[in-house]
Structure 1
Amino acid sequence: MLYKHPYVILRREIDQIDLQQKYIEEEHFIYLYEDRIETAEQKFDLKIVFDMSYKMLSASYGFFYLHTTKGVSTFQIKDEPDELIIQFRKVEIK
């Protein structure tokens, strides 16, 4: 593994007792390897990844975009992924 960057998945649940809506935040990681990128849900061969970008919407949250030949995958992030992108540039397949 070359680098890992955290992302979060927010789940919305309804408490069955008081019927209140609550959000549960789960932390996961985007793992960069020399030949692939892995998340909790998917694996991407570096051959299909052609770019990465992000946009912070506030001081607390933003979105990380993984651009692939099969479309764009979006991940909610709390921290800027600059180092992940730098490390990706070193191993990306052009």
Structure 2
Amino acid sequence: MYLIAKHPYIKIERKVTSVEQIDIEHQRVIYLYHDRVVTQNREFPIKDVMDFSYREIANQGGILYLHTLRGVYTYTVKSSPEAFLSAFKEHFKSSQ
């Protein structure tokens, strides 16, 4: 299992009390290996991964979409995942 690419993403946790709402930002990383994609809570065999796409949101980062046979998963990113997407396309899209 060798690492091809990785990219940071964030997960926002909201805590609501009777007095206030607190947003806690958790820093996480999505990893692209030759046989799987791994996030904090999920692991996808590469054979189940159909594609990745990215949508920028007002120059503040955007949403990284992971398209799988089980559905689409979204990850909030603060920086462009262009290198990550290029690595995926270079290693997997050309062989399909």
Who is 1:23 aligned against? 23
Who is 1:72 aligned against? 72
| Fraction of identical pairs, as percent | 35
Which is further off, 50-59 or 21-30? 50-59
**1:59 Cα deviation from its structure 2 partner:** 2.0
**1:15 Cα deviation from its structure 2 partner:** 4.7
Structure 1: runs of 5+ lacking an equivalent: none
Who is 1:14 aligned against? 16
Amino acid at match of 2:32: L
Q: Could you tell me the TM-score, scaled by structure 1's length?
A: 0.89
Alignment of 1:32-71 (within 5 A): 32-71=32-71
RMSD of aligned alpha carbons: 1.4
Question: How far, CA to CA, are the matches of 1:22 and 1:58 in structure 2?
Answer: 24
Q: Could you tell me the TM-score, scaled by structure 2's length?
A: 0.88
For the residue of structure 2 that corresponds to 1:2, the secondary structure is strand
Give the conservation status (yes or no) of the 8 Å contact 2:54–2:64. Answer: yes
For the residue of structure 2 that corresponds to 1:23, the secondary structure is strand
Task: From the superposition, tell whether residues 71 and 88 of structure 1 become closer, same or farther in structure 2 (CA, over 3 Å).
Answer: same
Question: What is the aligned residue count?
Answer: 92
Question: How far, CA to CA, are the matches of 1:38 and 1:81 in structure 2?
Answer: 15
For the residue of structure 2 that corresponds to 1:41, the secondary structure is coil
